Chains A and B, each alone.
Chain A
Amino acid sequence: MQNCIFSGHCMESRCDKSCPLLVQTTYLLERNDIPLNSSVFKTDPTKVSSICKILDDAKGSFRVVLDNQDTAAKSDIITYCAICQNWKGSQLHCVVYHLKFSQYVEEIQKSWSSRGGESENLEYIKIWTKSAKVLIISGIDFVNFKNFQCQTLLELLQQRNSNPDNTTILVSPPLSSLVGEGAFFSRLQDMMRKAVV
């Protein structure tokens, strides 16, 4: 068990490294690949406030956050803030999940040529992507959006939208810099344009 992000403020009666707060936050941080030496813990407070506001405003909807510098870092910060807002009562459910879309597409494509079908990893990604209360999607900068990639993302977004409790945040570079083609790509861009924060 790693150390606790709240330890400097903690006033629990004892620390046996198994209190719900530590267990739930640790689970969500590990699930989302955020180690304790991550830079998210040093994020500028004004950035934290603005991201918390984006998350508050986005509750139950789909939003696109644009970033022209480092979408991976931005999505990690959003994921951390979402974890802090949602860990309470999560009971070790993956309530916040950061999906790296390029890796997801790669996993799907790998599964086509695999004899055993979908890997366990892919199955879990699909479960968490579907069930997470807050889903953060990044990694679309590295995707060439052809029909399959567009359809996968559109279907995922549609699936998320069918549950009014789901919040979906897509972290994207400026829309003009996305690479893709075809009718589905225009549709995806339209959809994203309408959801830009």
Chain B
Amino acid sequence: MSRIYSNQNKIKFTSISERYQVDKACKGKVSELHAALITYVVGHFKNTKKYKQQVVDALNIMTYAVYAGDMLPANWKISSPLDNIPEFDSDLIEDTLGDVLLTVDSIDWDVSPTNNTSEVTTSSNPKPIVANTSSSQQVRRSAPKPAVSSTSVRQTPKQDLYIQSPVVPRFDYSKPWIRGHEGADDLVIYTTLPEIPTKQNEISCTTDVTKMTHLELMNLYPTTLVHTRAPLMYEHIEGLDYEDDIGVLLPIEGYTRDQLVDNIIQYPHFYKLSRMIGDNMYSFYTHIELDGQLCGILDVWDSLSDTRKIPRQKEFIKEYVVRKYLLDLTIKKVEYKYPLYGSLDPFLTLFMPADNYVQRGYSDIEQIAKQCVVSRVKYKQSRNPVIRRLDHAKLYI
């Protein structure tokens, strides 16, 4: 069986958790396990065949365990992922993994050997671990390629940046932030905890940005660059422009490359966007407003001047519709008849370390972090159904 990764088509070691082409259903879990291993190896790397083989075996076993639904043993710890790796029949692994099996030679080992055996968190000068592979010579590189630090940076988990609530929500029952009655319902939103968020996903309707200090605001930046756009946006697509760390730039008539990049930095993540059409709420991407007329996106997609080179795929269609809307709104100040439902303000998601923002010309990083909190609070408040119910009925107590 031919393999996707070979010595002719290598995958960068630090990109494995992002780019490894694994079955979609398993992608999340495999990526999480691989990311833990990569973080560990970056801090403990030895440039020997034996060590590399050990790492490759661990990567394949992790993928196999997820594919086969086998549990990793109880004594296997994510903090020392090379210890207590279970033994599986190598033929079985090869058969199960098929074309995604990794070998030492199919990996571009973009890590430097280190003598450091303990993990160090570097926040003052973070070096993103995320690296992008590029076989294309047409790729523009306007930003310096992130280097891999010899000491590993504790990677901010992607879920810390989610708009959704933390998995285990916390709140103070003794502090109702809003309370009222409508009909037979007693409606309450309790003040969420921590009152001072330590991660972006802890920001809620009840967060008060004025209580946050400079340090607390700076704490919201991730330690490494996190890919927050849809995974497809980080693939090189022939005919489409690409910027390292930012991803694919879709052509949108009337806007320059710099404006596109700036817009992606300010709005790097779209989550559950919708608009009201009549009395009904629709996903924002199902329609596009052209000269005040609302059109079904699939009906007009092929006739749009920009979309000739853009793949007719869901993720690209979503990206195009929202990006064009945001550019029209922020640059041309177009007033849409069918605007987005709820607020969507800039810097809703901080996706790279503060230093990276500075390097890209966004120098007031405290203000940007503050904006992130304000945007998130507004985003959630403008969509919160409890606030809406109480607002309509003017029933606050």
List residues of chain A with CB within 8 A of the CB of B272: 11
In the complex, the answer to whether A13 meets B185 with C-beta atoms within 8 Å is no
Complex Cα spacing A46 to B258, Å: 41
> Which segment, of A57-65, A104-112, A121-129, A180-188, faces chain B?
A57-65
Chain A's nearest CB lies how many Å from the CB of B25? 15
> Which segment, of A77-85, A139-147, A168-176, faces chain B?
A77-85
List residues of chain A with CB within 8 A of the CB of B205: 8-9
B residues contacting the other copy or chain, number (CB 8 A):
40
Select from chain A the residue with minimum beta-carbon distance to B71. Answer: A60
In the complex, the answer to whether A8 meets B385 with C-beta atoms within 8 Å is no
Complex Cα spacing A33 to B189, Å: 21
Within 8 Å of chain B (Cβ to Cβ): is A43?
yes
List residues of chain A with CB within 8 A of the CB of B342: 11
In the complex, the answer to whether B192 meets A84 with C-beta atoms within 8 Å is no
Within 8 Å of chain A (Cβ to Cβ): is B383?
yes
A3, A42, A61, A81: the one contacting B193 at CB < 8 Å is A42
In the complex, the answer to whether B167 meets A85 with C-beta atoms within 8 Å is yes
List residues of chain B with CB within 8 A of the CB of A48: 168, 170
In the complex, the answer to whether A41 meets B171 with C-beta atoms within 8 Å is yes
Within 8 Å of chain B (Cβ to Cβ): is A89?
no
In the complex, the answer to whether B171 meets A8 with C-beta atoms within 8 Å is yes
Select from chain A the residue with minimum beta-carbon distance to B204. Answer: A8
Select from chain B the residue with minimum beta-carbon distance to A58. Answer: B74
Chain B's nearest CB lies how many Å from the CB of A21? 10
Select from chain B the residue with minimum beta-carbon distance to A17. Answer: B185
Proximity bits, B349-391, A CB within 8 Å = 1, else 0: 0000000000000000000000000000000100111101100
Within 8 Å of chain A (Cβ to Cβ): is B230?
no
List residues of chain A with CB within 8 A of the CB of B77: 57
Chain A's nearest CB lies how many Å from the CB of B115? 29
Chain B's nearest CB lies how many Å from the CB of A162? 16
A8, A38, A57: the one contacting B169 at CB < 8 Å is A8
A residues contacting the other copy or chain, number (CB 8 A):
33
In the complex, the answer to whether B173 meets A37 with C-beta atoms within 8 Å is yes
Chain A's nearest CB lies how many Å from the CB of B93? 21
Complex Cα spacing A54 to B255, Å: 51
Select from chain A the residue with minimum beta-carbon distance to B271. Answer: A11
List residues of chain B with CB within 8 A of the CB of A14: 385, 388
In the complex, the answer to whether B164 meets A9 with C-beta atoms within 8 Å is yes
Select from chain A the residue with minimum beta-carbon distance to B174. Answer: A37
A9, A11, A12, A60: the one contacting B192 at CB < 8 Å is A9
Chain A's nearest CB lies how many Å from the CB of B237? 31
Complex Cα spacing A52 to B389, Å: 34
The residue among B172, B187, B281 with the most chain A CB atoms within 10 A of its own CB is B187
Within 8 Å of chain B (Cβ to Cβ): is A69?
no
B168, B173, B383: the one contacting A81 at CB < 8 Å is B168
The residue among A15, A48, A84 with the most chain B CB atoms within 10 A of its own CB is A15
24 A-B residue contacts at CB 8 Å?
A3-B188, A7-B188, A7-B189, A8-B165, A8-B169, A9-B164, A9-B380, A11-B342, A11-B380, A11-B385, A13-B281, A14-B385, A15-B187, A36-B173, A41-B169, A41-B172, A41-B173, A42-B172, A48-B170, A59-B71, A60-B71, A61-B74, A63-B74, A85-B168
